[in-house]
Structure 1
Amino acid sequence: MAKQTSNLTGLLVVNKPKGMTSFGVVARLRRISGQKKIGHAGTLDPNVDGVLVVALGKATKLIDLLQTVPKTYQGTVTFGYSTESQDSDGAVVEDQPLSEGINEDELKAAFKSLEGDIIQIPPIYSAVKVHGKRLYEYARANEPVELPQRQATIYEFAPTSALKWVENQPYQQIDFDAVVSKGTYVRTLSYDLGQKLGLPATMTSLTRVGGSGFSIEEATTLEELMELDEEGIKAKLKPISDVLPYERKDLTEVEFTWVKNGRKISSWPKTDEGFYQLYYEDQLVAVYRYSDEEELWRSRYYFL
C-alpha cells in the first residue's frame, strides 16, 4: 500500500473492472493515495468496464472540462427481449423470440438514424435525479414518476460485426462502436435501436474504450494500482497539461503577479478559442478565459 500523502495532483486513467461502482474505485484510490480531493470524470455502471479517468488534487478542478470530451464505447446489443434496466442486469419485461433473422440493411439504416442530436428517455433503473431523488429509488419504492427527457449527441453509432444468433436461443445480437456526448445512456441507445426495428432489445455488454481524451491502452487496472507505492502512483499520474487543448502563454514576472492575485487582464490579444493556459517558469499556473461581454481576460482555473 502506498505511503499516505495528501499532495498528489494529476489524472489516473483506470481500467475499471466489472462488478464495481465508479464510487468504489474512487474510494479505494483515496485510501491508497491519502488524497482527499479526488473524483471521477463520468460514471460507469457496475456491469461496464473500461476507461474511468480519476482526478486527484488540483486536477479535480478540471472534472467539468473532462466530462465534455466525447466518450467511446464498444458493446453488444441483443434483439428479441428487453429488460427493466435496458441491460443484462435487469429483469426481462418483454420477450419476443425471433422467428427469422433481422434484415441487415434495415439494421444498418436504424444505426444511422440514431446518429446526431437526439432525445433520450433514461430507464427507470438509472441514477438520473427527479425532484432530488434518483429514478431507481422511485422504482424500488414502487412510486410513480414521470421519466425525464435528456438531450444527447451521438457522433458515431455503427455495427462492427455481422448479426449472429445467440447459441440455442431465438435471439440475435450484433457488436457496435459508439462515440457519444456526456450524459448519453448507451443502454438506452441500444434499446432505441430495437425500437427502430419494432423489436425489444437489450445491451448485453459494454466497455468504455476512450474517455476524457484517454484511451484504454493508456489505462492501468485497479488491481495493479492497488499494488503500487507512492512513487509508483506518481509515475502513473498524467499531468493536468495533457488535457488542456488551449494555446500556451508564458508569463512575465509582472503578469505572474497579476494572475496570482486573480486580476482581470485587458492587454492580451483575443485568441480564436478564447482561452490561454498560462505558465510561469515552465510551471502551469492557471487557465484564463476571454469574456466578450467585459472585453477582458479572467481566471477560469487556478492551479497554485
Structure 2
Amino acid sequence: MEKNGSNLTGLLVVNKPKGMTSFGVVSRLRRITGQKKIGHAGTLDPNVDGVLVVALGRATKLIDLLQRRPKTYVGTVTFGFATETQDADGAVIEKQPLEKPLEDSVVQAACRQLEGDIIQVPPLYSAVKVKGKRLYEYARAGEEVSLPKRAATIYYFHLTAETAFDANKGYQTAFFEAQVSKGTYIRTLAYDLGRSLGLPATMTALRRTSGSGFDLAQATDLDELMAMSREELAAVLKPIAAVLPFERKDMNEEENFAVRNGQKVDTWPKNRDGYYQLYDKDQLVAVYQYSDEEGLWRSRYYFA
C-alpha cells in the first residue's frame, strides 16, 4: 500500500490476535497506511484476543467517546490457584486445591454479587500509573507502591456453561461472559470472584467479543488487513457517522458558516441528548454540545 498522501479517515474494527500488544497492532497499521493520526480505543493485554477498534485520521477525535462505551468479554476463571498477574501468564503465588467442586449455583450467585458499581484494586502487574510510573515498573524494580482504587461498573457477569472440575489438580474452571465499563480489569474481576468464594482464582482465558459499539462479526483479522490494498482497506473502514448516536441536523447557509468557523450558536432548541451531529448536505461537519452553564451550543468535535 502506498504511504504517500495517506488521508484515510474512519474506524477499523480489528480482530486482534493473541501474543501482540494493542500498540503493536496500531504500529503495523500505521506502517501500511502511512497514517500519522491513528490510535486505538481500549487496550487489550497481549494474551487477550478479540475486538480492538482503531481510529484513523479525523476519527481519532472520537477515541474518548468510543472508550466510554461498554465492552463485552467471554473467558474462563480457574479456582484453586492465584498468580502475581491475576492471569495465566504470571508466576503462581498461592495454591488451595479444592477437595470437591463448588455447585454451579454458588458460583453464579457470587458472579451476580459483583454486578453493579464496584471498586477494584488493579493488579501490581498492570499499566496503571502512580506518580508517573506504571505499576508493572514498580513490580519489576522490586519497589513498594500503594495500589490505587478504581471505580468500575459491571453491567452483567454470569456463567455461560457448566463448570469443569479437575480432580487430579483440585482446580475448577468457570466459563463466563461479562459486560463492563471503561477501566475494568477482567482479571481482577476473576480474582475478586475467587476471593468472594474463599478461594484463590486466576483468569485463564479471555476474549473481547464487543467494544466501542462493534462486535466480532464486524471485525477483520489483522493478517487479512495487512494483506489488503489501499482500496480494499478504505472499503472496510467504518465511517465516523456510524458511531455517532446523536440527532442529525442539516444546516442552512448561515449555520454552516458559523459551525465551520467554530462559533457558538444560541438559536437551536435544546434536545434530549444535548448533542447534534451537523451536516452540510451529506457531509458530516461537526458535533455540537449544549452547555447548560452558558445556555448555548458549542463545538465538541470538528471533522470538516
TM-score, length-scaled by structure 2: 0.98
Q: How do 1:113-262 residues align onto structure 2 when only pairs under 5 Å count?
A: 113-166=113-166, 168-262=168-262
Corresponding residue number in structure 2 for 1:63: 63
Q: CA deviation at 1:163?
A: 1.2
Q: CA deviation at 1:268?
A: 0.4
Corresponding residue number in structure 1 for 2:292: 292
Separation of aligned partners in 2, 1:107 and 1:123: 22
AA of the residue aligned to 1:134: R
SS of the equivalent of 2:29 reads helix
Q: 2:82, 2:201 within 8 Å by CA — same for their partners in 1?
A: yes
Corresponding residue number in structure 1 for 2:40: 40
Structure 2 residues without counterparts, runs of 5 or longer: none
Separation of aligned partners in 2, 1:129 and 1:69: 22
Corresponding residue number in structure 1 for 2:110: 110
SS of the equivalent of 2:59 reads helix
Corresponding residue number in structure 2 for 1:283: 283
SS of the equivalent of 2:139 reads helix
Q: CA deviation at 1:267?
A: 0.3
AA of the residue aligned to 1:126: S
SS of the equivalent of 1:210 reads strand
Q: 1:124, 1:139 within 8 Å by CA — same for their partners in 2?
A: yes
AA of the residue aligned to 1:170: G
Corresponding residue number in structure 2 for 1:263: 263
Q: CA deviation at 1:166?
A: 3.5
Structure 1 residues without counterparts, runs of 5 or longer: none
Q: CA deviation at 1:35?
A: 0.5
Separation of aligned partners in 1, 2:207 and 2:107: 22
Deviates most, 103-112 or 224-233: 103-112
Q: 1:82, 1:201 within 8 Å by CA — same for their partners in 2?
A: yes
Q: CA deviation at 1:169?
A: 2.5
Q: 1:4, 1:32 within 8 Å by CA — same for their partners in 2?
A: no
Q: CA deviation at 1:106?
A: 1.9
Separation of aligned partners in 1, 2:142 and 2:271: 53
* RMSD of aligned alpha carbons: 0.9
Listed one character per residue, the Cα deviations across residues 34-80 of structure 1 (whole Å, up to 9, x for unaligned) are 10000000000000000000000000000000001000000000000
Q: CA deviation at 1:7?
A: 0.4
Q: CA deviation at 1:173?
A: 0.3
SS of the equivalent of 1:298 reads strand
Listed one character per residue, the Cα deviations across residues 154-195 of structure 1 (whole Å, up to 9, x for unaligned) are 000000011112474220101100000000000000000000
AA of the residue aligned to 1:31: R
AA of the residue aligned to 2:216: I
SS of the equivalent of 2:94 reads strand
Separation of aligned partners in 1, 2:50 and 2:166: 24
SS of the equivalent of 1:126 reads coil
Q: Does 1:8 align with 2:8?
A: yes
Q: 1:19, 1:46 within 8 Å by CA — same for their partners in 2?
A: yes
Separation of aligned partners in 1, 2:73 and 2:150: 19
Q: CA deviation at 1:253?
A: 1.3
AA of the residue aligned to 2:100: E
Q: 1:3, 1:229 within 8 Å by CA — same for their partners in 2?
A: no
Separation of aligned partners in 2, 1:10 and 1:300: 18
Separation of aligned partners in 1, 2:4 and 2:89: 37
Q: CA deviation at 1:103?
A: 2.5
Separation of aligned partners in 2, 1:253 and 1:269: 18
Separation of aligned partners in 2, 1:184 and 1:272: 29
Separation of aligned partners in 1, 2:83 and 2:189: 14
Separation of aligned partners in 2, 1:115 and 1:2: 48
Identity of aligned residues (%): 68
Q: 2:2, 2:230 within 8 Å by CA — same for their partners in 1?
A: yes
Q: CA deviation at 1:104?
A: 2.3
Q: CA deviation at 1:105?
A: 2.4
Separation of aligned partners in 2, 1:290 and 1:51: 32
Q: 2:3, 2:35 within 8 Å by CA — same for their partners in 1?
A: no
SS of the equivalent of 2:154 reads strand
AA of the residue aligned to 1:7: N
